[in-house]
Amino acid sequence: MGQVIVAIGGRNYPLSCRDGDEPHLTALAAGIAAKADVLTGQLGQMSEARLLLMAALMIADELHEAKQGHFGKAPTDPRLTALLARAEALAAKLEG
C-alpha cells in the first residue's frame, strides 16, 4: 500500500493509497492546499476544520459548474465519483 504525506494549511497529513496512486493523490492534495492558501490569504487564519470545509466547498462549486457545462450529467470517471463521495462525507463529518 502506498503512503504519502501532504501539507495543507500548514499541517501535514499522512495518507494511504493504492500503490502507484501516490503522484495522483499528491497532485490532488496540492490543489486543495492551493485553495486553502487562497482562503487564508483572503479570510485570515481559521480553524483546521473550517479551512478544509471552505476548501471542499470551493472544489464542490467548481465541480458543480463543470457538471453544468456537461449538461448536468454526473461524472462518469469512477475515481471522480469516489472523490466526490469522500468530499461530501468529509463535509458532512465536519458539519456534524
Residues of the chain short of pLDDT 70, as ranges, are 70-76, 95-96
What residues form DSSP beta bridges with 5? 14
Task: Give pLDDT tens digits for 76-95.
Answer: 677 777 777 788 777 777 76
Cell, residue 21: 496512486
C-alpha distances out from residue 59 to 2, 19, 39, 70, Å: 25, 25, 12, 17
